[in-house]
Amino acid sequence: MFDFDDLSQAIARQTVLCVGDLMLDEFVYGEVSRISPEAPAPVIAVRRSETNIGGAGNVARNIAALGARCIFVGLVGQDTAGDQLEAELAKVDGIEPVLVRDPSRPTTRKVRFVSEHFSTHMLRADWERAAPASEEIEQTLIAAILPLIVRADIVLLSDYAKGVLTARVLRNVIDAARKAGKRVIVDPKSANLAIYRGASVLTPNRKEFSEATRSRAETEQEIAVAARDAIYLADCEAILVTQSERGMTLVPRQGDPVHVPAYPVKVRDVSGAGDTVVAVLASALAAGAAWEDALRMASAAAAVAVSKQGTASVTSAELRRKILPHAYRAAEEKIIESDGDLADRIAAWRAEGLRIGFTNGCFDILHPGHVKVLTAARAACDRLVVGLNSDASVKRLKGESRPVQDERARAEVLAALEAVDLVAIFAEDTPLRLIELVRPSVLVKGGDYTREQVVGHDVVEACGGEVLLIDILKGHSTTALVDRARSDQR
């Protein structure tokens, strides 16, 4: 498993130049309960509607949702839909829109009528002119795109065959990007892959790939064989064939094919899933990800996208929840970052009538003595909160050579224990402030303390709680462990 957090942080430092066919996606949701008396057609009782940035604009949205920066170049008409898209793009943090206006064509607009109950598309109405841009508009697009390449870490071309990515535009952009040493990812629409010659990676779906290579492309082996000729024809590094529920197969020019299975997921809407895949792939490759890591990230993103209604974008946080193991995330969620979060969790537990326990310590090197106290403390309550001394607090208590592990590492180790429900780091020398905030039903400490020596005993007892002292496990001490380790090093 790759380090998701490191890759995600690297993605946030990347800039992707995205060029492609922009469109306005509208979804009209309702229920069908009768057939029209005027014609044998269903009547949809409209409940709601929503409008999204679609086509290549959805690719840009997904790039921005991951935390990367997207410079987006698109083409719109001189109309209301174009105005709406320009306004919507300007609202998205992370997208720098560069729109070319063509008065001779309408802005591409697609309206989908969807059964809310069954999540089924019943009808789609399109307003568009799917013809190549004129020579004048081509030149305007090229003049807008080429100066932006130097600012990008990678170039992404999203072709919906609506007229932006003409042969001339493609040639100029791909050649300029290669000259600048920038990778070019292409989500192709044309069956003539030669027009994308020189791109780094092509990402057709299985149907597009089968048509372009005139192959069955049913199995990984068939895809790999057909892709070899296609790679030569397109002079590219690799071809990635997306196959919906079958996953995705990448065939590189050098090396063996890589297949990544799809995540099991309940599909609600496949609109824009391909946009999500190519956006994540380009962003991850720009950040230096290996092929397989980029594919696994893209596959997870596709699973999140198809589980949503409409043309969906996928955030880094959603990807994180999909990719990282539940146990890892569950442990992280136990670490409280603020007093407000702690108060909210305590209030929720109290509302459920749960008995709350509290203990505290430095827990610098976790040993069996610590585990005994923590498990005994958890046995005395329904939810256990552990107060953890901050690094500065440990230094004041234990000396300049401590702690051995920083506070985040110590918190993560504690949070991984089943006995611990929350970890709250405190900067003071004592946990009194936390105890006053938590007001536990039971306050637990090791048996080397007396009741009167336990910080906060008076607060807890005044609220009707009790102090519980656990016999310590002799022969176990963090200080002794540290001294022994240092002695062995001499």
Q: Which residues are catalytic?
A: 275
At 421, the amino acid letter reads D
Distances (CA, A) of 152 to 19, 128, 177, 243: 12, 30, 9, 29
3-state secondary structure the chain: CCCHHHHHHHHCCCEEEEEECEEEEEEEEEEEEEECCCCCCEEEEEEEEEEEEEEHHHHHHHHHHCCCEEEEEEEEECCHHHHHHHHHHHHCCCEEEEEEEECCCCCCEEEEEEECCCCEEEEEEEECCCCCCCHHHHHHHHHHHHHHHHHCCEEEEECCCCCCCCHHHHHHHHHHHHHCCCEEEEECCCCCHHHHCCCCEECCEHHHHHHHHCCCCCCHHHHHHHHHHHHHHHCCCEEEEECHHHCEEEEECCCCCEEECCCCCCCCCCCCHHHHHHHHHHHHHHCCCCHHHHHHHHHHHHHHHHCCCCCCCCCHHHHHHHHCCHHHHHHHHCEECCHHHHHHHHHHHHHCCCCEEEEEECCCCCCHHHHHHHHHHHHCCCEEEEEEECHHHHHHHHCCCCCCCCHHHHHHHHHCCCCCCEEEEECCCCCHHHHHHHCCCEEEEECCCCHHHCCCHHHHHHCCCEEEEECCCCCCCHHHHHHHHHHHHC
Q: What is the dihedral sign for C-alpha 265, 7, 366, 383? A: negative
Q: Are strands 201-202 and 238-242 parallel, antiparallel or unpaired?
A: parallel
Q: Tally Cβ neighbours within 10 Å of residue 486.
A: 10
Q: Tally Cβ neighbours within 10 Å of residue 209.
A: 26
Phi and psi, residue 270, nearest 5°: -90, 0
